[in-house]
């Protein structure tokens, strides 16, 4: 099985995990439910690890067929690969931030809103980058 066939199988996991994790974190903040925050945490952790697999399979699939994607990162809003790598880096930083807070959302309301806004915008960029990947592959 080629990486061009494996990558489309792997990419749906981080998309689902990050979006459900954001939903759990937002609902946990609104309703002050620690169980939802824990669910958001574990979705974030598994989303980061599954996205590393998605990036590796994507780079291996694209490296042979379209090296321009690796050689020319700009404009960033048109480059699926680099946009997704940046998104995963931001999500990884958010995971480290929460790890330092013992896996919970920041207690201060302003810090919690900053965290949720950055997470929401990043998940939105993940969706946009996924759309670019679907266009690139000819799926839409």
Span 104-119, pLDDT tens digits: 887 788 999 999 999 9
Specify the pTM: 0.88
Name the pLDDT band for 7 (thresholds 50, 70, 90): confident
Q: Is the pLDDT of residue 6 over 90?
A: no
**What pLDDT, on the 0 to 100 scale, is given for residue 73?**
60
Residues in the chain: 140
- The tokens describing 49, both together, are 């690890």
Q: Is the pLDDT of residue 69 over 60?
A: no
Span 8-27, pLDDT tens digits: 889 999 999 999 999 999 99
Q: Is the pLDDT of residue 51 over 70?
A: yes
Span 32-49, pLDDT tens digits: 999 999 999 999 999 999
């Amino acid at each position: 099985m080629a990486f061009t066939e494996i990558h489309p199988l792997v990419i749906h996991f981080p998309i689902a995990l990050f979006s459900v994790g954001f939903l759990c974190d937002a609902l946990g903040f609104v309703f002050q439910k620690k169980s939802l925050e824990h669910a958001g945490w574990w979705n974030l952790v598994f989303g980061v690890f599954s996205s590393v697999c998605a990036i590796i399979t994507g780079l291996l699939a694209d490296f042979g067929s379209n090296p321009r994607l690796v050689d020319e990162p700009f404009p960033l809003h048109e480059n699926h690969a680099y946009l997704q790598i940046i998104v995963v880096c931001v999500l990884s930083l958010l995971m480290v931030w929460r790890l330092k807070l013992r896996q919970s959302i920041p207690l201060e309301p302003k810090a919690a809103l900053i965290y949720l806004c950055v997470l929401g915008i990043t998940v939105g960029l993940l969706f946009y980058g996924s759309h670019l990947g679907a266009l690139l592959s000819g799926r839409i």
